Amino acid sequence: MADHLTHSPGGFNPIGEQSPRKPKLLIVEDNDTLRTQMRWALAEEYEVCEAADRETALEVFRKERPALVMLDLGLSPAAQGVEEGFLALGAILDIDSTAKIVVVTGRAEREYRRNALAKGAYGFFSKPYDLEELKIVLRRAHY
C-alpha cells in the first residue's frame, strides 16, 4: 500500500505527508505519436520531459537535469540515419558523465547496439520494444 501512496497525484498521500518526487525522464523521440505513447505509458512513474531533436534535447537536459534519458538514434533533421542520435548521446554525457541513457530505436543493427553501449548508454532497446522490460531497465538505471 505504501508504494501506491508514493505515486498519488499532486505529490501528497491521503494522510497529508509529502511523498517523494517522481524522477525526471527525458524522452527524445522525433515521432510525435510514439513520444506521446511513451509519455502516457511512463507518466505514472516519472515526471516526463520531451524533445523531438538533438538541440531541444540538450536544452531540456541542461535545464531539467533528468535522472534518466530515453533516446532514439534516428532524429531530425537526419531521421533516416543515426548520426544525430549518437551526437545527442555524446553531448548529454559531456554535460553529465553519470547520465543514465537508454537508447530506444528502430535501428536494430548490432553495430549500433555495440556503439551505443561503448559510448556510454546504459541500455539499448529495438522498436518495437516490450514496455514492461523497458520499465525494469529504467528502474534499475535510476536506482
pLDDT along the chain (143 residues), means of 10: 34 48 95 94 95 97 96 88 94 96 86 94 89 91 86
The alpha carbons of the chain give a radius of gyration, in whole angstroms, of: 15
pTM of the predicted model over 0.85: no
123/26 Cα distance (integer angstroms): 15
Provide the pLDDT for residue 107. 76
Residue 4 lies in a domain: no
> What is the number of other CB atoms lying within 10 angstroms of the CB of residue 76?
13
Domain annotation covers residue 107 = yes
Asked if residue 13 is part of any domain, the answer here is no
For residue 33, the enclosing domain spans 21-142
SS3 category, 76:
strand
Domain count along the chain: 1
Q: What is the rounded distance in angstroms from the CA atom of residue 26 to the CA atom of residue 140?
A: 16
